[in-house]
Structure formats: structure tokens, C-alpha cells
Structure 1
Amino acid sequence: MGANLGDTRATLEAATADIAALPQVHAPERSPFYRSAPVNAAGPDFLNAVLKIETTLEAEDLLRALHAIENRHGRNRPYLNAPRTLDLDLLLHGDEMRETAFLTLPHPRMHLRAFVLQPLYDLAPDLRLPQGSVKALLAACSDQALERLTDDVPPAPQAS
């Protein structure tokens, strides 16, 4: 999840709550927030995090729900890589692998982006992606500036 327009922190906190409130979503756990420069775009810095959930929703249904949350938070798509109030990507859905016009799993560029890999590592340090371990992939992105918000304490995982 990421945002670079408006009150980014409040938006990401609200989006976390919105996702946790979805039917068939349980045990949400959010990484710390990280600030990063836009990739292949201009605009303000992004605030990013990763949210780990348990769900019985199918991947497409979950992505549709994420898009609806983006829309409720004022997401516009005027052009590719435009600044945004909220960006919610589905990175992984269990071990599922697929490529359709609507959804590619695992996310096709996450292994190249420190702003995804670092918060992912915070939640799942032993995770392996098709391209290698999250730890090794993160080391390969060491030239990408990333700043952890020091005043952020992610909420404790909720049992539900």
C-alpha cells in the first residue's frame, strides 16, 4: 500500500482498517511505514507499507475489493504512474501464480522495489519469491533510498 497525495499516513491507516473490515479477512498485520521517492514518476514522496492478511477471498475478488477501497479514498488514474491518494496492490495470494489481463501473481515488479521488499521483510523475513529470498532481493536494491518512520508503531495483529 502506498500514497503520495493528501494526508498519506491517515489514508494508509484508514485503508488498513478498511481492509481489515472486509468480509473473509482475518488477522491483519501491518509493517512499519516507509518513505520513498516515486519510481519512474514525478511527484511527492510516497509513504508505503505492506499489510499481511489471512483471507478466504479469491484473488480477483480481493483485488476488486482493494480497488473499491482506493476509489473511496479518491484514487484517480489520469495517466500511468500519476501521483495518488492511495495505491493498493496485491503482491501475493498464498502460493498462487497467474497472469491475466486483470491480475498477475506474484506482483511482477515487487522484487525490484525496496519500498515493497523492506516492509515485506519486516513481516516475513524468511519469505522466498520466485526470484530469490526477500533478504537477498532487498540487498540488491540497496541503492534505493528508503526511510522508516521512527514514530510509527504498527498496530498489534488482531485475532478474528
Structure 2
Amino acid sequence: VLADRARANGETTRAAGYEASAAAFAGQLTVVDASVSDLQALREKASAVSSAARRGLEQNAFALQDQLTQRARLLTQLEAAKLQERMADAVRQVTSFAPPGDTPTLATVGERIDRRFARATARGELAADALDARMLDVSRASLDIEAERRLAEIRAAMAAEDGT
């Protein structure tokens, strides 16, 4: 528009300057548009990578939880086996050194041992279940907090885009 006015007034040099400035601005606009497109593509790739990383983190958390559960179960079994060994030693001692008379039968001792073993096993399972539940709650809470933080970032970014 300025170049047309300058030409109409007979100022060809000024019109050429305006044309050159307009061409420079158009070139800069083209470069900026290309940069914006590149940045959008990078943002989309980063978002996809971030989503994949979050999924991987969640899978790792669940795998860790499973391993902790297996570890607790194995430790409980180990303690039960140790208890069973001690009970077997005690029964052997009772049967070899007990005086005749009121001595409990081997069947009675076996029943007592079975009851103690069952109680010990149940206590171990209850303790392991409580730990598993707490670990799962912590894992879920961590994921929820991260999701809320990310949602706040997205909302802020969208609000900034709407404002511009």
C-alpha cells in the first residue's frame, strides 16, 4: 500500500524501499512459520515420549509391587519353615526324654504344631497383605499427583494460548 502511494506520487526509490522491506518481512514471516511448525512437531513428539515414559513408569511400579509381594511371601515361607524345624526338634526332644504317663501323644503334639504353624502363616499373610495395600496406595497417589500436575500445566498452556 505504501509502495503504491509512493509510486503514485512519483517516488520510485521510496516505493522500491517499501517493496524491499515488505519482501524482507515476508521472508521473516516464512521462517517464523516454519519454526512454529517444527516446534509443534517437536512438542507432539515430546508429548508422545512423555506418555510412553509415564506408561513405562507405571508398569515398573506395578512390577516392583509384584516383586515386593513375592519377596514378602518367600520371607514368610522361610520363617514358617524355620518354625517348623524348631517344632520338629522340640517334638523329637519331648518324645525322647519325656517320662511315661502324662506325656502327650505324637498326634497331639502334631496338632498343636499344625495350629501354631497355621497361626504363624496367617499372621505373615496378613502382614504381607497390609504392606502390599500400602505400597499400592502410595504408587497410585504418586501417579494421581503427577496427573494433576500435568493437567495444570496443560490448562495453563491452553490459557496462555487463548490469551494470545
User: TM-score band (shorter)?
Assistant: under 0.3
Which structure dedicates a bigger proportion of its chain to strand? 1
Q: Which has the larger radius of gyration?
A: 2
Of the two structures, which has the highest relative contact order with CA contacts closer than 8 Å and spacing of 6 or more? 1
